[in-house]
Chain A
Amino acid sequence: MCTGMAAAARAAGEITLLLQRVRRGDSGALEDLAPLVSAELRRLAARLLHGQPPGHTWQPTDLVHELWLRLLRRHELHFENRAHFVGVAAHLMRVIVVDHARRRSAHKRTPEAVPRGMSEFEALLGLTESRAAELVSLEDALQRLTALRPRQAEIVELRYFAGSTVDEMAEALGLSPKTVKREWAAARAWLHSVMSGIEV
């Protein structure tokens, strides 16, 4: 376990360094970086996509590609350990998914728009118009929650957008599993209530 964590931290440190070199315009660093980042992201993506019904043409690599592009656009590129890296990836997942959801529900509000089918990514998310509207209202509520208690918003990101377990969240946030469970329960109940239109 310890050696695994150490290796993960080393990998994360290496990723950080390489990303900084990429940002300085060192194209050789990109080649070195790709396999490292991809392996980490692919592991995350594969888990996210685990259990999908067969027949989806969406592959973990597609998700990796989108995450990877987002990652390069970020400014602060420093990862302390793998848990931190997963936290960043979870946040990016949220950004990507909410982007898609907003586009889909904005489309719905434009009456003259030609009805459009779902992209594969949207199909993967089960992003019907009603689901898109739900995700948008989740995002609005989540931003309010961030103002109240940022830690709870992070837990929701890890749990809902990255599918993390309680133990993984505890590790990522440096909290006890018991605290994580309590925070999650409160955040979940509050978000569900607010999203159903009942202020607490």
Chain B
Amino acid sequence: MTPARWDRIVSVFGEASELPCPEQSGFLDVHCGSDAALRGAVERLLSEHERGAGLLDRPLFSRPAAPDEDVWAGRVLNGRYRIERFLARGGMSTVYLGRDQQLAGRAVVVKFLHAWARQYGGLRSRFRREMEALARIDHPAVVGVLDVGETADGLPFLVIEYIDGVTLRTEMARGPMALDRVARIIRETGGAVGAAHAKGVLHRDLKPENIMLERPGTPEERVRLIDFGIARVEDPTDFEPTQVTQFAGTTHYMAPEQLRGKACAASDLYALAVVAWEVLAGGRPFSAASPVDMYEQQRAGVKAAVLVRRGIPETAARLIVKQLSFRAADRGASAAEAAGLIADALLFADGRVWRRRDAMTGMAGGAAVLMCGGYAWWARRSGPIPPAERIVEWPAGAEPAEHGFQPRGAIENRAIFNSEATRVEALRLISADQGGYFHPLNPAQAKAANHQGWKLIFEAAAEEGGITAGVCVPQAPARYAVNITATPGAGDLVRLLQGFTPAIHGIDMTLGGASGARRRYLLAYQPGAGAELWVDGARLYRGFQGCTEYLYARGPEFGVARYRSARGSGVFWSCRFEIG
């Protein structure tokens, strides 16, 4: 090729690339004439232009940029939207709270595509096209797009209605929801998804975090669907490793074809069914930590009987499971229709109307919850347990066996006396492999723990290898375990266990302070929200979903393990398990 030839190609390409796709062909007809080679070259460049994720699309040294939260505060966009403060940061975009100065300072949400994301070729025009499609969806349950624009330096942004409400996730964490309320939320969400589909827009990221509830808990409660997965990049490989767990979190709602990178309308139906499952029955139909395992579980499928056993009306259970089909073609018709059928089945199970309840009233008292026929499964199915059985405790200084804790594995315990040597104040546990103590729960306790939540509180210090404590609740089903590894000189390492295969892995965090320090740990589980870990009164993690392997027993446990050292050794002062 000669420079002159290249100049010509660049010039035709430059103009063609700025035209909408359908007009490009006509433009090339005119400008390339009979020069087929010129046309071929320009078309080749155009197809590269639309493709993202090449080597050059991210400067050599840049990664997904560090949070630049304050960068926009105080700026005014399109002459009317003043950015007030940073709200959140997602995989593709950053969200700010703004004020519309032309409408009496009305609150708005401004969403920017990440600066690094716009370097993907063609992404900007796609972002814009999808924003415009979103703006065309006019549905009361879909968040309204108020404006779109570009900053002076070419960063596209979206101005969205600010929703004053809470997410469905937050509501789920508060406790069980009345069946008629769940039915209405599913119906409205399905209607919103259907309206988007009618305009050719997929949501792609439906989950309880993206379903907002306005005026929650009141008779005027309304669903507002937010955060459509617009302008998604197909190559998530460059995300930093710390986002792996986040990625795993979102795969819980991803249909098999979406895991393969080919989302379609039926993928949103799948996600809606997972949300329905979670709201109604707690937990999720498939719980694998990795996308590959998830795909295998989806292929194996799930039976409606699982939901029926948890008290979901059979017709509704079958309809939900149908939407979880491995093949997209085996799922429902339209989103609105599928959701409507599920909602009806929830309300009119067995030919009768389920008893309606005003949402959330009287929820604080446990007794009220236990007696309401119309609440989701965990409330209806857990029988009352005596107050004495709500607490399982091994108090400081006592012999664990006297309090119903059974030894497990190769374990040895040595008393540690107080400074005056007058009483035992703690136990040092030692194991050449791993071992500890375990308290089996009776079925009523296990069920109540599952349905009403629980807390595990223990005071301990890791000396060699590591200590471990946790709760296994097979019906949930999950094991919530915390491992604390002594790492002299580096502060102790905390791992929230997510799986055993192919290797023990989980969410790792480092504790400040001295290695081997005595600390008070609190692991608190709420149905629908997972577990939170608190250390010495500070919350370290929330939304821990546990691990689903080796669920052989139920109840709280604590012990030591060798990990990478010659033996495991640690001191425990106490361990207490509370239900509710």
Q: B63–A190 contact, CB under 8 A?
A: no
A residues near B241, Cβ cutoff 8 Å: 53
Q: B3–A189 contact, CB under 8 A?
A: no
B residues near A188, Cβ cutoff 8 Å: 48-49, 54, 56-57, 121
Instruction: Tell me whether A50 is interfacial, beta carbon within 8 Å.
Output: yes
Q: B49–A195 contact, CB under 8 A?
A: no
Q: A200–B44 contact, CB under 8 A?
A: yes
Write the chain A residue with the least CB distance to B119: A159
Q: A192–B63 contact, CB under 8 A?
A: no
A residues near B46, Cβ cutoff 8 Å: 189
CB distance from A62 to the nearest CB of B (A): 13
**B154 contacts which of A124, A159, A166, A182 (Cβ < 8 Å)?**
A166
Instruction: Tell me whether A65 is interfacial, beta carbon within 8 Å.
Output: no
How many interface residues does B have (CB within 8 Å)?
33
The segment from B9-17, B427-435, B543-551 found at the interface with A is B9-17
Instruction: Tell me whether B55 is interfacial, beta carbon within 8 Å.
Output: yes
Q: A93–B60 contact, CB under 8 A?
A: yes
Instruction: Tell me whether B421 is interfacial, beta carbon within 8 Å.
Output: no
A residues near B240, Cβ cutoff 8 Å: 53
User: What sequence of 0s and 1s flags, for each residue 127-167 of chain A, a beta carbon within 8 Å of any chain B beta carbon?
Assistant: 00000001100100000000111000000100111110111
User: What sequence of 0s and 1s flags, for each residue 32-60 of chain A, a beta carbon within 8 Å of any chain B beta carbon?
Assistant: 00000000000000001111110000000
Instruction: Tell me whether B51 is interfacial, beta carbon within 8 Å.
Output: yes
The CA-CA distance from A125 to B63 in the complex, in Å, is: 11
**B63 contacts which of A52, A148, A177, A195 (Cβ < 8 Å)?**
A52
The CA-CA distance from A190 to B44 in the complex, in Å, is: 9
Instruction: Tell me whether A1 is interfacial, beta carbon within 8 Å.
Output: no
A residues near B55, Cβ cutoff 8 Å: 134-135, 138, 192, 195
Q: B45–A190 contact, CB under 8 A?
A: yes
A residues near B61, Cβ cutoff 8 Å: 48-50, 52, 124-125, 163
Q: A192–B48 contact, CB under 8 A?
A: yes
**A149 contacts which of B3, B62, B66 (Cβ < 8 Å)?**
B3
Across the A-B interface, how many residue pairs have beta carbons closer than 8 Å? 100
A residues near B9, Cβ cutoff 8 Å: 186, 200
B residues near A182, Cβ cutoff 8 Å: 10, 14, 17
Please provide the chain B residues from 10 to 38 with a CB less than 8 Å away from any CB of chain A in the complex: 10, 13-14, 17
Please provide the chain B residues from 37 to 53 with a CB less than 8 Å away from any CB of chain A in the complex: 41, 44-46, 48-49, 51
B residues near A190, Cβ cutoff 8 Å: 45, 48
Write the chain B residue with the least CB distance to A125: B60
The CA-CA distance from A163 to B3 in the complex, in Å, is: 27
Please provide the chain A residues from 51 to 92 with a CB less than 8 Å away from any CB of chain B in the complex: 51-53
With known contacts A148-B1, A166-B153, A189–B48 Cβ distance under 8 A: yes
B residues near A48, Cβ cutoff 8 Å: 59-62
CB distance from B485 to the nearest CB of A (A): 18
Instruction: Tell me whether A114 is interfacial, beta carbon within 8 Å.
Output: no
Q: B60–A189 contact, CB under 8 A?
A: no
Please provide the chain B residues from 113 to 141 with a CB less than 8 Å away from any CB of chain A in the complex: 121
Instruction: Tell me whether B64 is interfacial, beta carbon within 8 Å.
Output: yes
Would you list 26 pairs from A and B whose C-beta atoms are within 8 A, ordered by A residue?
Answer: A48-B59, A48-B60, A48-B61, A49-B61, A51-B63, A52-B61, A52-B63, A53-B63, A53-B241, A156-B56, A159-B56, A177-B154, A182-B14, A185-B121, A186-B9, A186-B10, A188-B57, A189-B13, A189-B44, A189-B46, A190-B45, A192-B54, A193-B44, A193-B45, A195-B54, A195-B55
Residues of A within 8 A of B (CB): 48-53, 93, 97, 124-125, 134-135, 138, 147-149, 156, 159-163, 165-167, 177, 182-183, 185-186, 188-193, 195, 198, 200
Known: A147-B3, A188-B48. 14 other contacts (CB 8 A): A50-B65, A51-B64, A52-B61, A125-B60, A148-B3, A163-B59, A182-B14, A185-B14, A185-B121, A186-B14, A188-B49, A191-B56, A192-B51, A195-B54
Residues of B within 8 A of A (CB): 1, 3, 6-7, 9-10, 13-14, 17, 41, 44-46, 48-49, 51, 54-57, 59-66, 121, 153-154, 240-241
The 3 closest A-B pairs by CB, nearest first: A163-B59, A189-B48, A48-B61
